Structure 1
Amino acid sequence: MCDPQRLWIALVVAMAITTGCQPFSPVYSPAAERELTLLKGRTLRLMALAEEPFADQTKAVARLRGDLGSARDRAAARPRNGLTLRQWNELMATDGHLLGGFLFRWETDTTLAAGFIIEARLLVERAMEVMIEHEKAKVGGAS
């Protein structure tokens, strides 16, 4: 005959395994992927205008910064999304070499050289593509 204590332990272990097997990886969000894709297009279009005075695009930059900040906040609110949050922070860092640094330099220098814009756009485009691919690679994504 089975020992009731062993049966109880086996039952508790089985329940812990079945209820605790949620993915340890972040879960894919189609909305986050779609938002990243749209923001990437808007970002690159705005960056292309950096030969013009920053003052001409102040409202567009403020809108983009706000939308990027909102997307970052939504990413921060999702469980197990630390890597994605670090990617957002790197993209938006004003002392970095991606979008945040680019916008800061544009605002500081008023206009930017065409060669610098081209190179910066390539870096930002690649960074945002990596973020999109990372989202797709999450549990349930279309990798």
Structure 2
Amino acid sequence: MKKIAYYLLASILIGTACSPLISNFDRFAYRQITSLKVDALSLMDEATSDYASHAAEVKALQSDLNKTVEYNKHRLNNDITNKMYALLNDPEANLLGGFLVKWQNDGRCSPAYITDKKKQIAFSFDQIADLEIRKIKR
């Protein structure tokens, strides 16, 4: 009986030690992040005009982003990607979530501000996409 317990414990330890530390590559997740990047940057170009005229587009983008976040939450070993999405989407941070809140609160944004934020937000999307593309492909 003692031998069986040791074998069971050893197999559990070996099994958890051999499990991946990060999720595998997911073609759907990669497609989603690249699509969201294009949509977000395109919508940001509209921020020089009144927010109210683009509220439906903002809501659609946020919905698409939330769907992607939810999809990624349920992937095993995907904590790093999930944290990156949380930062990107945080309405109190200085990335996409914060940009959309500022646009809503201010009504419109200056072209210089938009240009600066697009660089930061594009970089953030690229970081998520780069992480996904570098994951092990099955």
CA-based RMSD of the aligned residues comes to 2.1
Match of 2:28 in 1: 31
Counterpart contact for 1:47–1:117, Cα < 8 Å: yes
| Residue number among 44, 47, 50 corresponding to 2:44 in the alignment | 47
| Amino acid paired to 2:130 | E
1:104 matches 2:101: yes
Q: Alpha carbons of 1:14 and 1:95: their partners in 2 closer, same or farther (altered >3 Å)?
A: closer
Q: In structure 2, what is the Cα distance between the partners aligned to 1:55 and 1:10?
A: 65
Count of residues in Structure 1 that have an aligned counterpart in Structure 2? 136
Q: Alpha carbons of 1:108 and 1:12: their partners in 2 closer, same or farther (altered >3 Å)?
A: closer
Counterpart contact for 1:50–1:106, Cα < 8 Å: yes
CA deviation vs aligned residue, 1:59-112 (integer Å, no higher than 9, x gap): 000000000001001111101111111101100111111000000000000010
| Amino acid paired to 2:80 | L
TM-score, structure 1 as length reference: 0.85
Match of 2:62 in 1: 65
TM-score, structure 2 as length reference: 0.88
Counterpart contact for 2:20–2:77, Cα < 8 Å: no
Match of 2:110 in 1: 113
Match of 2:89 in 1: 92
The structure whose Rg is larger is: 1
Unaligned residue ranges in structure 1 (runs of 5+): none
| Amino acid paired to 1:71 | T
Q: Alpha carbons of 1:9 and 1:92: their partners in 2 closer, same or farther (altered >3 Å)?
A: closer
| Amino acid paired to 1:77 | H
Counterpart contact for 1:55–1:110, Cα < 8 Å: yes
CA drift at 1:10: 10
| Amino acid paired to 1:107 | Q
| Residue number among 80, 84, 99 corresponding to 1:83 in the alignment | 80
